[in-house]
Amino acid sequence: MMADHYEIEKIAGVDEVGRGALFGPVVAGAVILSPKAELALAKLGVTDSKRLKATQRTALVEPIHRWADAYAIASASVHEIDRINILWASLLAMKRAVTQLTPSPTLCLIDGNKPIPNLDIPQQTIIKGDQNSVAIAAASILAKVWRDTLIVRLDKRYPGYDLASNKGYGSPRHRAAIGKLGRSRQHRKSFRVGQ
């Protein structure tokens, strides 16, 4: 009986990216993987997205899509970040990603130490989850590639901030450009720009 229960359990890994950026939305990914899929993706090199080069992350998107039982990406806007703060906006993006999953997960593994508020699904927080759970790592890779692609596109709309290379984070060139050009509509007003 327990084996049957294990087979139907749908465990989702959930993570966000862009929390520390000065520009653009915070983006969350949610991925449901079977134990078999976790093994296959671990062999392919799925790990914490911050430990991978951009080319490696991009190459892993298709295998994650192929192996996942379900996956979703969602975001919280700059306006939402400024209104409710980055922590609550990150949790909101995570909740939006989880609620898009079909089928719904039976358990969510959340990167970090804060559970998602008002989520009617059992959840477990895991500090450094993107290093310890393949499902969380897969979610972080999908979210990171999606967000980076978006920021590169927005670089054309908001030139001068070096967004294509800094991806919205506070590099010296980005901070200097804000000092010279001011903030664009996609810059977070609640974030300090000072060195």
- 175 in a structural domain: yes
What does the pLDDT read at residue 8?
A: 72
What does the pLDDT read at residue 1?
A: 39
Determine the structural domain holding residue 6 and report its residue range.
Answer: 2-181
What does the pLDDT read at residue 195?
A: 47
Query: What domain count does the chain have?
Result: 1
Q: What is the mean pLDDT of each run of 10 residues along the chain (195 residues)?
A: 57 97 98 97 95 97 98 98 98 98 97 96 96 97 98 97 97 96 96 74
In angstroms, the CA 150 to CA 125 distance is 28
- Burial-class residue 92 by CB neighbours within 10 Å (0-12, 13-18, 19+): buried
- 126 in a structural domain: yes
- 16 in a structural domain: yes
- Whether 73 and 28 have beta carbons less than 8 Å apart is answered as yes
Residue by residue, what is the 3-state secondary structure of 43-56? HHCCCCHHHCCHHH
What does the pLDDT read at residue 192?
A: 86
Q: Give residue 130's identity as a one-letter amino acid code.
A: D
Helix (H, G, I), strand (E, B) or coil at 161: coil
- 193 in a structural domain: no
- 135 in a structural domain: yes
What does the pLDDT read at residue 4?
A: 46
What does the pLDDT read at residue 5?
A: 45
What does the pLDDT read at residue 2?
A: 44
- 195 in a structural domain: no
What does the pLDDT read at residue 193?
A: 79
CATH number at residue 8: 3.30.420.10
- 152 in a structural domain: yes
What does the pLDDT read at residue 17?
A: 97
- 68 in a structural domain: yes
